Amino acid sequence: MRPPLLERWKRRQNGLLQSLLLYHGREDHATVRVLLLAGIGTVGMPLYYVIWQDFFPQEYESLPLRMLGILLCAIGLFARQFTRQMLNLYLLVALSYIFPFFFTFMFVMNHGSGVWGESLLIGLVVLFHFDTALALRAYAIGTVLACTAAAALGAGQELLSQAVLQQLPIHWFTIAVLSVAKISRHVLAQEKLAGMGAGLATVAHELRTPLTSVDANVRGLLRMMVEVQVHNKDDRLTIIDALARIQFEVRHMNHMIDLFLLSATAVRQNLHPVETVSMESVVEAVLKRYPFSSQKQQKMVRLELRHNFQFPGQSELAVVVLLNLMRNALRAVQRAGKGRVRIVVDGSHAPPRLLFIDTGCGIAASHMSLIFRRFYSHPPHNGAGIGLALCQEIMDAWGARIRCVSRESAYAIFVLEFPAR
């Protein structure tokens, strides 16, 4: 017997959703850098083989090592299909081989030549633009392997030559400077965030008192409207509608203040997991706390609970993440003048995940790599640009992942994936 039409339609929608999530990876900063590195390496490895072999011949060259480097770089061109674990493993292997191992090995085998000394220095500069801990591991692994390979090929004496040893202080100084510069940038960013957090908290507290007063007065006027006779029915309805609208705006502002305070607190506090959180409870809390403008807007949001799951995190921070996503989704629907919001709790999936889907205005491809960048906002007047960046920072602290799949004028799907318990 064929399933009902509605059930077939639902299966088709779920199948489409699975396809979208399968073929659209996260365009985060790490993936973009891997793609750039892989593209440059795939072209640069054979190009410089020709240059150093035919135009400016060097004493030692190795086609097999070049071919292995080209293969590693070519694999990186498929980084969009990598999982996070695959991406991290690929980065460690590729960076260890290309920069410390290959460049150090060629430097030693060419008797510390100026060409390979400068090439190795440039390679270290590129290497330490990646995460410092990853770069240090890659540097140690690649350098040790390069020295071992050189010694095995009978070039052990070159390792102790003046041409090689005199480069070590320069390399270590370069590594130290690059590491300090990255720490300084991180500190400045944290100070900026802390300043913004303090500013948000101050503004929020200043707004709370007059809003509380307005809300109390509106409640009093509404009670009076019930008690006092107003002969003109239209006037009575108009006054009640205006008061209800004022009350909604007050509730909405109080909600925004709550969100500002939570975000300001999250900027300054430890984001690491301290409790086990139920995703269903978090979603229900968000649906209760969000100040929908009307019942119509509330009905635009549908919860689909396939299978609840728990994850290590913090309840209030999880609420911050989902409130930001809810706000963005409803704004997208409002800007598009059409669409709905669908929240899918899918604990049976591996890994457990939550999908936040809106069929509003979508996100242009040119903006996809920027949406999680701190202080980036589109349209420019659409906020302070800390919402999605804060969401990603919280998820990273929990060992979880947030990514977005979107098509302009059609849909946006935020995928939140959590570690399997």
At residue 199, the pLDDT reads: 62
Out of 288-297, 308-317, 368-377, pick the least confident. 368-377
What average pLDDT does this structure show over 19-31? 50
Residue 203 pLDDT > 80, yes or no?
Answer: no
What average pLDDT does this structure show over 350-372? 90
Using pLDDT thresholds of 50, 70 and 90, give the confidence band for residue 357.
very high
| Cα–Cα dist 375/384, whole Å | 6
Using pLDDT thresholds of 50, 70 and 90, give the confidence band for residue 29.
low
Percent of the chain topping pLDDT 70: 73
Residue 257 pLDDT > 50, yes or no?
Answer: yes
What residues contact 138, with CB distance under 8 A and at least 6 apart? 91, 92, 95, 96, 99, 100, 127, 130
Cβ contact 311:353 at 8 Å: no
Write the pLDDT tens digit of every residue in 118-129: 999 999 999 998
| Cα–Cα dist 320/317, whole Å | 5
Altogether, the residues listed in the chain come to a count of 421
Write the pLDDT tens digit of every residue in 67-114: 999 999 999 999 888 877 888 899 999 999 999 999 999 999 999 999
What average pLDDT does this structure show over 254-274? 67
Using pLDDT thresholds of 50, 70 and 90, give the confidence band for residue 38.
very high
Residue 117 pLDDT > 70, yes or no?
Answer: yes
At residue 215, the pLDDT reads: 72
Residue 288 pLDDT > 80, yes or no?
Answer: yes
At residue 268, the pLDDT reads: 55
Percent of the chain topping pLDDT 90: 47
Q: State the pTM of this model.
A: 0.53
At CB < 8 A and 24+ separation, what contacts does 120-124 make?
A: 120/167, 120/171, 121/167, 121/170, 121/171, 121/174, 123/98, 123/99, 124/99, 124/100, 124/171, 124/174, 124/175
At residue 255, the pLDDT reads: 64
Q: 374 or 131: which carries more pLDDT confidence?
A: 131
Provide the 3-class DSSP secondary structure of residue 411: strand
Residue 272 pLDDT > 50, yes or no?
Answer: yes
What average pLDDT does this structure show over 125-150? 92
Residue 45 pLDDT > 80, yes or no?
Answer: yes
Using pLDDT thresholds of 50, 70 and 90, give the confidence band for residue 256.
low
Residue 254 pLDDT > 90, yes or no?
Answer: no
Write the pLDDT tens digit of every residue in 169-201: 999 999 999 888 877 666 666 666 666 666 666
**Torsion sign (Cα): 277, 281, 284, 285:** negative
Write the pLDDT tens digit of every residue in 206-224: 566 667 667 776 777 767 6
At residue 1, the pLDDT reads: 44
Q: At what angle do helices 315-336 and 387-397 cross, to 10 degrees?
A: 140
Write the pLDDT tens digit of every residue in 378-416: 665 555 566 788 888 889 889 999 999 999 999 999 999
